[in-house]
Amino acid sequence: MQLLQDTIQKIKKPDYSLAQEAQKRLDNLTKPQGSLGRLEEIAKHMIVVTGNLWPQLKNKVIFTMAADHGVTDEGVSAYPKEVTAQMVYNFIGGGAGINVLSKHVGARVVVVDIGMAVDLKPDPKLLVKKINYGTKNMAKGPAMSKEEAIASIEAGIEVFENEYGKGIDIVGTGDMGIGNSTSSAAIASILTGKSVEEIAGRGTGLDDAGLSKKIAVIKKALKINVPQPTDGLDVLAKVGGFEIGGLTGVILAAAARKVPVVIDGFISTAAALIAYTLKPDAKEYMIAAHCSQEKGHRLMLAHMGLKPLLDLDMRLGEGTGSAIGMGIIEASVKILTEMATFQGAGVSERNDAKKILL
């Protein structure tokens, strides 16, 4: 618990005074003011978050956390729970969507077993921080103990800190865990105050009957466990997952280090909601990569005041959205740091422009 408390205490609001300096440079680049839209907003946000007027994104890291969920016993997923381990083998073998997209943007992927139901063959590409062999069935009682919830978050903090020593300029979140959209919907319903029907989606592809069953299971879990909406640890313990806890730790640790963190889809945003509940200022360091196909995702982002960069009807997870988002963010930073100013390029400004000395 001490590591979690120490990390939360280190999270401070960014220095917003830097936004004015960032805006001056953006307005003096060789373009009409504001003509690059959200790319300019992102660039300014990166300066504020990092505290660096000339940010660089040389070291990009995506943390993909894997765990199993006891609630799969209720038949809430279109896939069997064995797929979690099978996909993790695919990650470390380099054949998954996250491998392709992370390579495309020059990010390294850290794959973590934080709670899979089985032990995988030892592999240098797999980091084992297992809290337990999957959560318990939340439809019958708490998914985990409070101690396990804390341990999962602190495992995420430790994983981040280990990589931070190797260099991190920006972080992405990713997940793998059959059944985790059920846990995430339960978390989102409690923390946003929205109904289960408004939040829960089809996950990996449930039909109408499967979706109805999923909603019923979530309602049952919430009725049995009664998670407290003001207590992020209580919510995580009662209806969460180990990978969700781990990603919560990554987000908190990144915020404590003033490292921007790119939030992936529905499951990653459930972790972001937990982090936001534990420390609202952590939200200032989050960038929503996209709005997924899960219908409740937009409501979750709106609850935290996050505006997604993209809307591509994605619903894969793994950190794929984070990878694509990193590419957009890097483009915005390069605009800021590599584009010429009017003075530098010898280009005339508009007739009514005020001269800005940089």
- Whole-angstrom Cα distance, residue 104 to residue 119? 30
Query: What are residue 188's phi and psi, to 5 degrees?
Result: -65, -40
| pLDDT given for residue 349 in this prediction | 63
Tens of pLDDT along 27-85?
Answer: 999 999 999 999 999 999 999 999 999 999 999 999 999 999 999 999 999 899 999 99
Res. 12: pLDDT tops 50: yes
Report, as an integer, the average pLDDT of 108-124. 97
pTM of the model as a whole = 0.94
Q: CA-to-CA distance for 112 and 252, rounded, in angstroms?
A: 17
The SS3 call for residue 36 is: coil
Cβ atoms within 10 A of the Cβ of 189, count? 27
**DSSP 8-state code for residue 341:** B
Selection from 129, 248, 128 nearest residue 183 by Cα: 248
Q: Answer yes or no: are the C-beta atoms of 358 and 25 closer than 8 Å.
A: yes
Q: Contact 244/182 with Cβ under 8 angstroms?
A: no
CA dihedral (127, 256, 194, 300) in degrees, to 10, reads -70
- Provide the annotated active-site residues: 318
* DSSP E strands, 50-132: 60-67, 107-115, 126-128
- Of 153, 146, 177, the residue nearest 70 (C-alpha): 177
- When the pLDDT of each residue in the chain is averaged and rounded to a whole number, the result is 95
What is the pLDDT at residue 347? 63
Percent of the chain residues past pLDDT 70, beyond the cut: 96
Is the pLDDT at 356 greater than 50? The verdict is no
3-state secondary structure of 307: coil
- pLDDT confidence of residue 257: 98
Q: What is the pLDDT of residues 310-337, one digit of tens each?
A: 999 999 999 999 999 999 999 999 999 9
Contact 116, 130 (CB under 8 A): yes
pLDDT computed for residue 7 by the predictor: 98
Q: How many Å separate Cα 67 from the centre of its chain?
A: 16
**Cβ neighbours of residue 180 closer than 8 Å, sequence gap 6 or more:** 67, 69, 241, 243, 244, 267
DSSP tag of 296: T
Q: Which of 103-112, 136-145, 201-210 has the lowest mean pLDDT?
A: 201-210
Q: What residue spans of the chain are helical by DSSP H?
A: 2-10, 18-27, 38-50, 82-93, 97-105, 146-164, 180-192, 196-199, 208-225, 232-239, 242-256, 266-278, 297-304, 320-338, 342-345
Report pLDDT for 357.
41
Residue corresponding to tokens 């073998």: 93
Find the length of the chain: 358
Flag whether pLDDT at 358 surpasses 50. no
pLDDT category at 205 given cuts 50, 70, 90 is confident
Quote the percentage of the chain above a pLDDT of 90.
Answer: 92
Q: Which range (16-25, 139-148, 288-297) has the least confidence?
A: 16-25
Residue type, 323: A
Dihedral angle sign, alpha carbons of residues 236, 237, 239, 245:
positive
Are 60 and 106 a contacting pair, CB within 8 Å? yes
Supply 296's token pair: 């409740």
Q: Which domains does the chain have, with CATH numbers?
A: 2-55+335-345 (1.10.1610.10), 60-332 (3.40.50.10210)
Q: What is the pLDDT of residues 241-266, one digit of tens each?
A: 999 999 999 999 999 999 999 999 99
Out of 79-93, 220-234, 293-307, 331-345, pick the least confident: 331-345
pLDDT score of 211: 94
Q: Quickly state the pLDDT bin for 346 (edges 50, 70, 90).
A: low
Q: Which of 353, 274, 279, 349 is closest to 31 using CA atoms?
A: 349
Which tokens in the block code for residue 284? Answer: 């200032």
